[in-house]
Structure 1
Amino acid sequence: MDGEYPDIAPRMKEIGARKNKLADDGVMYTLPVLSDAHTNALITDSREVAEYLGTTYSEKPNFSKGLILVFDAAVFDL
């Protein structure tokens, strides 16, 4: 896996990200990663990122419904 994306693991180690998954040849890091300057949180799993954003910034939506629809149309029509 490191040969395919050789810059991910060194950068994740540099920022202090935790390892998420076990690869066949050892531990690996996953993306996306979120670094929140307001709380100093560093989140490294997509589900945990979504939960964190929903909990930490629950007073306002993260994305407007229109933006989500445009994104969905662009991604799922590929």
Structure 2
Amino acid sequence: MALDATGRARTLAQWMREMDDPCTGLAKPDLAAALAAIDDWIDANQASFNTALPQPFRGTATTAMKMRLFAYVLWRRAGRLRAQEDG
């Protein structure tokens, strides 16, 4: 389910607070448009994402579990998720 306007605004505000590398040269409306595009893309590709998941995970996991695993992969790729095994 897509974020509403408040969710998008709060997500952008938090992202801007936590950015290690500020997006110099981009105005807040530009960043808001990028966030909206990502949120819209997620909605548009939800079925494809679900189909890509292997069984039995696809049929057993809840939507929330699938989204959380997706987020963990993104956070790891972004270098923001550390595991206990990383030391």
TM over 0.5: no
Structure number having the greater helix percentage: 2
TM-score (norm 1): 0.28
Structure number having the greater strand percentage: 1
